[in-house]
Amino acid sequence: MEFSSKLIEKAVNEMSQLPGIGKRTALRLVLHLLKQPKEQTGFLAQAIVTMREDIKYCESCHNISDSILCEICANKNRNHQIICIVEDIRDVMAIENTGQFRGIYHVLGGKISPIDGVGPSQLNITTLVEKVKSGSVNEIIFALSSTMEGDTTNFYIYKQIGESEIIISTIARGISVGDELEFADEVTLGRSILHRVPFEKAFKNN
Amino acid sequence: MEFSSKLIEKAVNEMSQLPGIGKRTALRLVLHLLKQPKEQTGFLAQAIVTMREDIKYCESCHNISDSILCEICANKNRNHQIICIVEDIRDVMAIENTGQFRGIYHVLGGKISPIDGVGPSQLNITTLVEKVKSGSVNEIIFALSSTMEGDTTNFYIYKQIGESEIIISTIARGISVGDELEFADEVTLGRSILHRVPFEKAFKNN
């Protein structure tokens, strides 16, 4: 792609570094900004720079936060004895949106993936193990991706925690709500039969 | 969508102002920036602000440019007697990429569209008419969208230019190269028959 302006070219190149944004989309965004008032571009630039510079991570659960403790960890009405372990801050938002969980979270910051060069030391595992061993936790729930990497991470943490008397569970795997049975894969279907739940319990929280 | 950080929320809101970017995509972009080095966000912000502040428009053709005249207008090897009239700077890039045009351009900055509140006075029409009336132009080519608004704009400019002795043409409308005939709409197919070209000429520049 040839640009008649070096300024445009530079802006497009920077924009196209973002995931899912190619050169063409980047150009469309840049030309859109050109048509808007100058302040708008200023606001956008300011917002992302401030966000990147001033963002903090919760000291307890490693969720993003504006203060030392995130709103969830600082909330005394939540059950601090149940920890839900997630990969990413996006997962916290997703689970919060369900409204089904009133405990606290622990954000690992990824999952163990040798292919991507991510080992246990790059994840927030030590602080989790310490928290569990301090005895203040009753239950931990693994809510990681249902993939090889997710399972590896689950297993690693499970081994690290060792023999403690807390309840360890993982989120249920089964048929998605609204899915037709005939299109479900065998492994999922098999698991959903293996981990069947009492009928009355299944519809309690629906 | 609930955010655990006001900074994130603000960045997402600003990002989602961009066309084609919803809240979810904006969040994905923001979380991506959080994982990259701080400088990267700085570079992006800097690039878009500098672009927006310092961008110039070519005094002759209104294309975007880093100097008073754009590279195309400043190029003496191009034929300054043929002007291709386009809506947008993106169209200049598209036509340049074909490598089939060696004249210069005139960017209108839009098309006449009463629904969107765009009248002739908001477009760069006066400078075009002056240029044509000054006598330095041999031919103008209309390369606007093949829509109601495009045709209205074509017709308006045509009337403004009045009776001059220059050649006035529009780009050919017909079946897209690579298209199956059975899927073409009737109007396009009709026009392609009406404006058929001599066989030898059709394949000359292929």
* Per-residue pLDDT reduced to its tens digit, A90-104: 899 889 888 889 999
DSSP, collapsed to helix, strand or coil, labels residue B98 as: helix
CATH of domain A75-171: 3.40.1360.10
Using the predicted structure, report yes or no on whether residue B2 has a pLDDT greater than 80: no
C-alpha B203: how far from chain center: 27
C-alpha A60: how far from chain center: 16
- Over residues A52-73, the pLDDT tens digits come to 998 889 999 999 888 889 889 9
In the 8-state DSSP scheme, what is residue B141? E
Indicate the average pLDDT of chain A: 88
Q: Rounded to a whole number, what is the distance in Å from the CA of B106 to chain A's nearest CA?
A: 14
Q: Rounded to a whole number, what is the distance in Å from the CA of A101 to chain B's nearest CA?
A: 15
State the Cα–Cα distance between residues B48 and A10, nearest whole angstrom. Answer: 8
- Over residues B99-141, the pLDDT tens digits come to 889 999 999 999 999 998 999 999 999 999 999 988 889 999 9
- Domain ranges across chain B: 6-54, 70-171
Phi then psi dihedrals of residue B168, to 5 deg: -120, 120
Indicate the average pLDDT of chain B: 88
Mean pLDDT of B13-24: 92
Identify the pLDDT of residue A33.
92
- Over residues A14-46, the pLDDT tens digits come to 999 999 999 989 999 998 998 888 899 999 999
- Closest to B29 (Cβ–Cβ): which among A13, A18, A43? A18
Phi then psi dihedrals of residue B170, to 5 deg: -125, 160
Using the predicted structure, report yes or no on whether residue A8 has a pLDDT greater than 70: yes
Using the predicted structure, report yes or no on whether residue B3 has a pLDDT greater than 80: no
Which residue, among B44, B98, B116, would best test binding to A if mutated, counting the most A CBs under 10 Å from its CB?
B44
State the Cα–Cα distance between residues A129 and A124, nearest whole angstrom. Answer: 9
Mean pLDDT of A131-136: 88
How crowded is residue A145: how many other Cβ atoms within 10 Å of its Cβ? 15
Fill in the amino acid letter for A23: K
Minimum Cα–Cα distance from B16: chain A residue: A44
Identify the pLDDT of residue B197.
80
- Over residues A164-174, the pLDDT tens digits come to 788 898 888 88
State the Cα–Cα distance between residues A162 and B127, nearest whole angstrom. Answer: 79
Mean pLDDT of B36-60: 91
Minimum Cα–Cα distance from B57: chain A residue: A5
Q: Does domain B6-54 have CATH number 3.40.190.10?
A: no
Transcribe B101-131 into DSSP letters: --EEEEE-SS--BGGGTB-GGGSTTHHHHHH
First to last CA, chain B: 52
| Tokens describing residue A34 | 């050109």
CA B179 to each of CA A108, B48, B174, B188, B195: distance values in angstroms, whole numbers, following the listed order? 51, 38, 10, 12, 18
CATH of domain B70-171: 3.40.1360.10
In the 8-state DSSP scheme, what is residue A117? T
In the 8-state DSSP scheme, what is residue A113? B
C-alpha B153: how far from chain center: 14
Identify the pLDDT of residue B176.
84
Which residue, among B34, B35, B48, would best test binding to A if mutated, counting the most A CBs under 10 Å from its CB?
B48
- Over residues B61-71, the pLDDT tens digits come to 999 888 889 88
Fill in the amino acid letter for A85: I
Nearest to residue A85, comparing CAs of A110, A116, A118, A50? Answer: A110
Identify the pLDDT of residue A164.
74
Please state whether B162 falls in left (phi above 0), alpha (psi between -120 and 50) or beta: left
- Closest to B48 (Cβ–Cβ): which among A5, A19, A33? A33
Fill in the amino acid letter for B178: G
- Closest to B6 (Cβ–Cβ): which among A29, A46, A66? A66
Identify the pLDDT of residue B35.
85
What is the H or E stretch that residue B80 is in? strand B79-86
The answer, yes or no, to whether ipTM is higher than 0.90 is no
* Contact present, A41 and B49 (Cβ < 8 Å): yes
Identify the pLDDT of residue A204.
66
- Range of A80-84, B3-7, B163-167 with top mean pLDDT: A80-84
Nearest to residue B172, comparing CAs of B145, B195, B199, B149? Answer: B195
CB-CB neighbors (< 8 A) of B10 in chain A: 47, 50-51
Mean pLDDT of B19-27: 92
